[in-house]
Amino acid sequence: MTERETSAGFHVGGETVQTYNDEHYKKLRERWGLGDDFLATFDFTKNMKGGGGKGGDLMGFTTDKLFIVKEVNPGDQKSLLKITEDYAQHLLDPHGSLLARFFLHFSRKGKDFLVMNNWMPPPRYDAVDSMEELGFDLKTNYNRFDLKGCADDKTLVALGEPVHAVHKRIFNVGMWCGDALWTPERKRYFEGKKHAREVKFHVSQATHDEISKQTKRDVAFLQKWGLMDYSLVVSYHGVPRTHLDVARSVYAGTSDGGAQPYLAASKDTLYISYVGIIDFLQDWTCAKKVAMCVKCCERNKATIPPVCSSVLSLMN
């Protein structure tokens, strides 16, 4: 489907919005147990903020942080309309998928929006009665990563603290003359990028095999449609094995229909992980081809063409 198509209205935050191809998204909502009222209390005024993408698109979380409502730019809109039916069939296939789950595509006040699951739902620390009585810092060993298998890998959260992006843009001359003029924030961001390239995650062999198979299947789907620049996002939390009840409390209600989070354990530690693929609607356009040519001499370039499976290297 390549043309703009709308169907019956859907209620989002008390407003009636026009949906795109909802006969397919309705199947996904049913598969993941969502009623048509799952966004009934969403507040566009309070929840939507700028900065949801490289172009500053609007983005907001539902109150429970389980879903993301994101503005869709014209390029992504074109890709989304093109792949909708095949995408829905891909996610409903019993072999499983790590692609972000899209549950609603709609238009509101001249802008297009997409509703998806949050692959990195935050731990619910307020579920713990007293953090002081635990005997350890529950937040310390919580981490998030955005991985592409190239120079654009980055750490989003390290040891419970956000890692803010400080980019070395071409116009920041001082940043290209060694790190002497780098700010502490830039140094922390750079160390986070290096760490993201090297970090290993504790998962069971069965989970590793499942993630590998699903990732290969998803990448093949994205390559078929000529889509690129997608990321593998991972949230990773270590909790003392003696506190299984605490882990259950802070992650209660965040499960992906029973499949995630993934659990693994060492002698002393329980590891809770979420893994998913996001930002996969970028088409392999002429502009991206030019950018690839400009970066031809750069090692580990961030622009990933659709024929390249850089994300798959993360699983080896």
Query: Tell me: the pLDDT tens digits for 235-252?
Result: 999 999 999 999 999 998
- CA–CA gap between residue 116 and residue 67 (Å, rounded): 6
Query: Tell me: the pLDDT tens digits for 173-196?
Result: 566 667 777 889 999 999 999 999
Query: Tell me: the pLDDT tens digits for 272-299?
Result: 999 999 999 998 654 455 444 545 555 5
For residue 129, pLDDT over 50 is answered with yes
For residue 117, pLDDT over 80 is answered with yes
Q: What is the pLDDT of residue 169?
A: 66
- CB-CB contact of 57 with 144 (8 Å): no
Average pLDDT of the residues of the chain: 86
For residue 55, pLDDT over 80 is answered with no
Q: What is the pLDDT of residue 196?
A: 95
The CA–CA distances, whole Å, from 184 to 10, 18, 179, 269 equal: 47, 47, 10, 31
For residue 47, pLDDT over 70 is answered with yes
Cross-strand partners of 87: none
At position 103, the amino acid (one-letter code) is F
Query: Tell me: the pLDDT tens digits for 132-167?
Result: 778 888 999 999 999 998 889 999 999 999 999 988
- 90, 95, 100, 102: CA torsion to nearest 10: 50
State mean pLDDT over 260-273: 94
pLDDT band at 2 (very low <50, low <70, confident <90, very high): very low
Nearest partner of 111 among 11, 46, 61, 44, judged by Cα = 44
Q: What is the pLDDT of residue 306?
A: 53
